[in-house]
Structure 1
Amino acid sequence: MKNLYRGPGLRRVREAVGTGAVAAAASLAAVGGLSAWTTAGYAGSPAQIEVREARVLLPVIPGRDTNAYFRIVNTGGTSDRLRSVASPVVGRGVELTAHRMNAMNGAYRERTETVDVPAYGEVEMSPYGAAVTLPADEMWRPGDRITFTLDFVRSGRVTVDAVVRPVTLGSAS
């Protein structure tokens, strides 16, 4: 005997089966993608920060503000963010800054809250990008070492000595 009833109940079952099949396929695709990501070694790879170069420019006019530049390398699979810099030698007035241009093509430095360090990438601080602005000591001489502590969101604190260098064509970049 043929089933003549094809009311809303059968249609709902078909829709539910179709929806379930789509959800199952999406779940399998997600699990497959995550498995590939994990197998490639990317899952669970934390940020690993190294400061490979650190220098402080000796200001041309003694006692004026100057800049410190760091080459920050992240060999980990997660990005990180530099949120502050401090120095027991300098004390107050150390701040993260960024190079900006105004409408008249005048350059200036502006305080910034953080500096992003990409996963498997680096940040090369320079006069044309991120820097650390600080008050200089009139007693600093080329070759002196200034201790800084860089505080990162994920990696925590990294302490490094920056070498005081005179401003020359090669030291600003």
Structure 2
Amino acid sequence: MTRFRRAREAAGTGAAVVLASLGAVTGLSVWSTAGYAGSPARIEIQEGRVLLPVIAGRTTNAYFRIANTGGAPDRLRSVTSPAAAPRLTAHRMNTANGAHREPSGPVDIPAYGEVDMGPHGTAVTLAADASWRPGDRVTFTLDFERSGTVTVDAVVRPVTSGSAP
């Protein structure tokens, strides 16, 4: 009788393992078929703009719309430009309701997501060149953790043209 009981228990355990394995394989197959498995981050810079300061040569901000069409998240680590020494910054408010920018860390770009930099969020702060005019292009290199570097031009736009979102 003991032998039959052990055989029944072994068969039950084996069936549980087989069912769990089939469930895992089915789930992974569905995940892969949907295009989520093994899909790396794919970064696209959809727009880049630099605001022309009202007083020439002052500090200004550049904004980028960054899309990730891949299945893995990525992270913008830094921004460089031959035109200036840009840095990633974030909009902050102080206790007297005064706004200021402070250096920020890396910017996360979610899988199948987008980050739209703007005046009330993340930006790239840099010293403006006094010779910039509306329509000029400024080259930036954005360094991503997974996607490497992406070089893009941002168009100089006056602050008053409604160019800020």
Aligning the two structures, in what range does the TM-score lie when normalised by the shorter sequence?
0.7 to 0.9
Aligned counterpart, 2:25: 31
| Of 145, 150, 153, the match for 1:158 | 150
AA in 1 matched with 2:153: D
AA in 1 matched with 2:60: T
Aligned counterpart, 2:80: 86
Identity %: 70
What is the CA-CA distance between 1:134 and the residue it aligns to? 0.6
Larger Rg: 1
Q: Does the residue aligned with 1:26 lie in a helix, a strand or coil?
A: helix
Could you tell me the TM-score, scaled by structure 1's length? 0.83
Structure 2 CA distance, aligned partners of 1:84 and 1:21?
Answer: 53
- 1:56-85 Cα offsets, whole Å, 9 max, x none, are 011112221110001111111111111110
AA in 2 matched with 1:97: T
Q: Any gaps of 5 or more consecutive residues in structure 1? A: none
Aligned residues: 163
**Runs in 1 of length 4+ with deviation above 3 angstroms?**
16-27
Q: Does the residue aligned with 1:36 lie in a helix, a strand or coil?
A: helix
1:111-122 to 2 correspondences below 5 Å = 111-122=103-114
AA in 2 matched with 1:113: G
- 1:94-152 Cα offsets, whole Å, 9 max, x none, are 11111122333322212112111111121111001111001111121111111000111
Q: Any gaps of 5 or more consecutive residues in structure 2? A: none
Could you tell me the TM-score, scaled by structure 2's length? 0.87
1:7-26 to 2 correspondences below 5 Å = 14=9, 22-26=16-20
